[in-house]
Amino acid sequence: MSNPYGFETRCVHGRPDRAFEDGARSVSFPIYQTATFGHTFIGHGQFNYTRQDNPTRLHLEETVAALEQGVDAIAFASGMAAISAVMELFSPGDHVICGEDLYGGTTRLFNNVNIKNGVGIEYVDTTDIAKVRAAVRPETKAIYLETPTNPMMNVSDIRACAAVAKETGALLIVDNTFLSPYFQKPLLLGADVVIHSGSKFLSGHNDTISGFVVVKDQALAERVRLLGKTTGGMLAPFDSWLVMRGIKTLALRMEKAQQNALRLAKALRENPHVTAVYYPGLPEHPGHELSLRQTSGFGGMLSFRVDSRETAERVLLGVKLVTFAETLGGTESLITYPLTQTHEMVAEDIRERLGITDTLLRLSVGIEDAEDLLADLTQALEG
């Protein structure tokens, strides 16, 4: 859908030609807290039953579609519900090439559910396009990746993966949770499907869970919508409203988080207890050049390695302003221990190869004062 407005305007107002206008024209879109909708004729109305369709969720979906520049977005009750629905596109015998450095819950879904149901999942280093191409088989139906990855911040070439997917007749599915459409628009780089955990930057306040599937093809949108309605993990009206409210400030939050992340990345690099900093915004990061070509920013996520497990524990338990907690992408800065919190499901050999060890820490940088965050991390590192 063509949209005359810039990104920030879309964040605040959604689509200019909303499919549904509430009669009172309230500035804050109303929460249609209802299970069902009355009909005035025989057949399906514009809205029928909230699992299937709801005006509040629809407004949010139109907003997210407008941000990613897709034809449609479907809102789910969590990122995992969104990914589960997308994986229902595949049948026993189908082959899916997946990045090996994925969100731990995604790996758990693939390993415990999709493989059981006969979908062949093959983990590949998607930062190496030759490895992606070499993994293609006649039955390959999709390439699934995250970029930058969680937690190693590795960057994959979306355009190059899209070219391989196109040659193969497979879908390219990109989980865009880490950068949000503010910094990266995979559909414009050739991807077919974008996934979001809306629990992270989109909602942005660590106060709700949600997920999205955004597509650029109408027929595929209808298939995913039908899968959502059928499997039932759709986002509730109140949560839809919360995510919508969060999105209004997405651009401002992403800018501030990035500014803070760059400040922390540079300062941590100089700390004697820190042995490596993984942030694509640093010129020495292996994905820096590629990021400059495919994104408009580096985001608010970074990981760093410390000199020992003792230091890692001291930081996790010693921070006072930053919270030691899972999740990311909110106004509050959080620090995570990927080894035990988010990536215990990843096979040990892959973990070792990637560097997800007992000295690795992941930081979701919030929008606080950068100097306060730095002072807190410094005192925790020094102990």
Ligand X SMILES: *Cc1c(COP(=O)(O)O)cnc(C)c1O
- Residues noted as catalytic: 51, 103, 175, 200
CB of 199 to ligand X, least distance (A): 4
Q: Provide, rounded to whole angstroms, the least separation between the CB of residue 326 and ligand X.
A: 8
Comparing C-alpha atoms, which of 48, 47, 57 is closest to residue 77?
57
Residue 369 is encoded by which pair of tokens?
A: 């004062």
Size of the site for ligand X (CB under 6 A): 15
Residues 314, 306 contacting (CB under 8 angstroms): no
Q: Which of residues 12-71 bind ligand X (CB under 6 A)?
A: none
Please choose, from the candidates 322, 286, 316, the residue with its C-alpha nearest in 3D space to the C-alpha of residue 101: 286
For residues 66-95, which are near ligand X according to CB under 6 A?
A: 78-80
Q: Are 73 and 64 in contact (CB under 8 A)?
A: yes
CB of 362 to ligand X, least distance (A): 10
Angle between helices 309-318 and 370-382 (to 10 degrees): 130
Which of residues 140, 154, 177, 208 is near ligand X by CB under 6 A?
177
Which sign, positive or negative, has the C-alpha torsion 198, 123, 324, 315? negative
Q: Which of 140/208 has CB closer to ligand X? A: 208
Q: Which residue, 237 or 329, has its beta carbon nearer to ligand X?
A: 329
What residue number has its CB nearest to ligand X? 79
For ligand X, the closer of residues 82 and 373 by Cβ is 82
Residue 99-138 contact track with ligand X, rule CB under 6 A, x = bound: ----x-xx--------------------------------
Of the pair 54, 197, the CB lying nearest ligand X is at: 197
The pair phi, psi for residue 315, each rounded to 5°, is -70, -50
Tell me which DSSP letter residue 2 carries: -
- Least spacing, CB of residue 146 vs ligand X, in Å: 5
> How many C-beta atoms surround the C-beta of residue 108 within 10 A?
15
DSSP secondary structure string for all residues of 251-305:
HHHHHHHHHHHHHHHHHHHT-TTEEEEE-TTSTTSTTHHHHHHH-S---SEEEEE
Task: Give residues 184-243 in contact with ligand X (rule: CB under 6 A).
Answer: 197, 199-200, 209, 211
Decide whether 199 or 311 has the Cβ nearer to ligand X.
199
- Contact (CB, 8 A) for 204 and 71: no
Among 62, 72, 100, 146, binds ligand X (CB under 6 A): 146
Phi, psi (deg, nearest 5) at residue 60: -60, -45
Write down the least CB distance from residue 190 to ligand X, Å.
20
Query: Which of 150, 154, 260, 336 lies at the binding interface for ligand X (CB under 6 A)?
Result: 150
What tokens does 185 get? 């628009």
Minimum gap (Å) between residue 221 Cβ and ligand X: 20
Residue 151 touching ligand X (CB under 6 A): no
Nearer to ligand X, 105 or 318 (CB): 105
Alpha helices in the chain (DSSP H): 7-13, 55-68, 79-87, 104-109, 129-135, 158-168, 180-183, 218-231, 237-247, 250-269, 288-294, 309-318, 348-354, 370-382
> In the complex, which residues of this chain contact ligand X (CB under 6 A)?
78-80, 103, 105-106, 146, 150, 175, 177, 197, 199-200, 209, 211
